[in-house]
Amino acid sequence: MRTQGITVALPRLFARISGRLRVYLQLIKSLQTGLLLTTGIAGFTSAVCPVAEPVTLLAMSLSLLLAISGSTVLNMVYDRDIDARMPRTMGRVLPAGRISPREALVLGLLLSVVGMAWSWWLSPRYAAVVFAGWFFDVFIYTIWLKRRTAWSIIWGGVAGGMPALAGRVLAVGTVDWVGLALAAAVLFWIPTHIMTFSLRYKKDYQLAGIPTFPARYGDQRTQLIVAVSSVLAAIAMGASAVGLGMTWGYLRVLAILGFGLFVLALSSVLKPSPRLNIGLFKFASVYMLGSMLLVVIEAI
């Protein structure tokens, strides 16, 4: 009878654990977190061959994953009232009540503390950049500016660029212009991400009372800013690739991707449409992921 009880209880326990893990994965926005983590890995491998330093690369990746995930969860906790007002986000786990704010807060703090402590153990300078990204994201962008000004996305972009810079700092031991260029590429990509959503879901943001560029400056100017920021992201990425001494074969692929981004950006300004804006957003994300992967592949 006891064996039979254990047999019945174990599947239930595993089901509860897997269910909770699925909730946690939604809290950390796994796709967004994965992209930012890729930029951190690219920053590290831009100066260190991953085959030569696999342990350090793994430790950096895990510490960065924890810190990024922690900041994302804390943002979700703070923004749960906003999410509950917007049709696009009201189904998220916090406004839907699938996890309590207290549990999410504890999870976010735990991930943040462990991630930053691990970062400090690896390198104080690396940890300083990781903490800067966390601080800008949670306190400057989310808590202080997001509900006050549309220009908060600049600070969100700064936070988004910190993983790439952190990886580079861990590899070379200091902040250099290549690391800053990698961070700038992500910084300029962020407006493409955020402004595209603010254009597509303008009514949602109005319901939530969040200031956006379309509401403040109009759709046409916002589309122009999205296009310009996309091109600037490509320029920053190209500059960092040249600074890294990327071989011509990889540079050619990067140039083709950059040209495609430029064409889409120009088209979105000359003939703006919701479909084209989403296409630019998707291609800009592919460009950012692809360019960072090119840095990693080149290092191998």
Q: CATH number of the domain that 276 lies in?
A: 1.10.600
**pLDDT given for residue 80 in this prediction:** 96
**pLDDT higher than 90, residue 95:** yes
Containing structural domain, residue 171: 29-299
Q: Is residue 154 part of a domain?
A: yes
What distance lies between CA 139 and its chain's CA centroid?
16
Cβ proximity of 164 and 186 under 8 Å: yes
Q: Is residue 18 part of a domain?
A: no
What distance lies between CA 175 and its chain's CA centroid?
20
Confidence of residue 15 (pLDDT cuts 50, 70, 90): low
For residues 78-106, average pLDDT: 94
Q: Is residue 5 part of a domain?
A: no
Q: Is residue 16 part of a domain?
A: no
Q: Is residue 7 part of a domain?
A: no
Q: Say if residue 276 is exposed, middle or buried (CB neighbours under 10 Å; 0-12, 13-18, 19+).
A: middle
Confidence of residue 47 (pLDDT cuts 50, 70, 90): very high
pTM (predicted TM-score): 0.92
Q: What is the dihedral of CA 196, 198, 201, 204, to 10 degrees?
A: 160
- Report the alpha-carbon distance of residue 273 to residue 220 in Å, rounded: 10
Q: Which helix (H) or strand (E) holds 38?
A: helix 30-45
Q: Is residue 141 part of a domain?
A: yes
- The per-residue pLDDT of the chain, averaged, comes to 90
Comparing CA positions, the residue from 166, 171, 190, 169 lying closest to residue 115 is 166
Confidence of residue 146 (pLDDT cuts 50, 70, 90): very high
**pLDDT given for residue 170 in this prediction:** 97
Lowest mean pLDDT among 4-18, 87-101, 124-138, 217-231: 4-18
Find the angle CA(37)-CA(87)-CA(150) to the nearest 5 degrees. 60
Both structure tokens of 228: 């310009």
Q: How many distinct structural domains can be found in the chain?
A: 1
**pLDDT higher than 90, residue 165:** yes
The label of the residue with tokens 């109005």 reads 206
The label of the residue with tokens 């991930």 reads 111
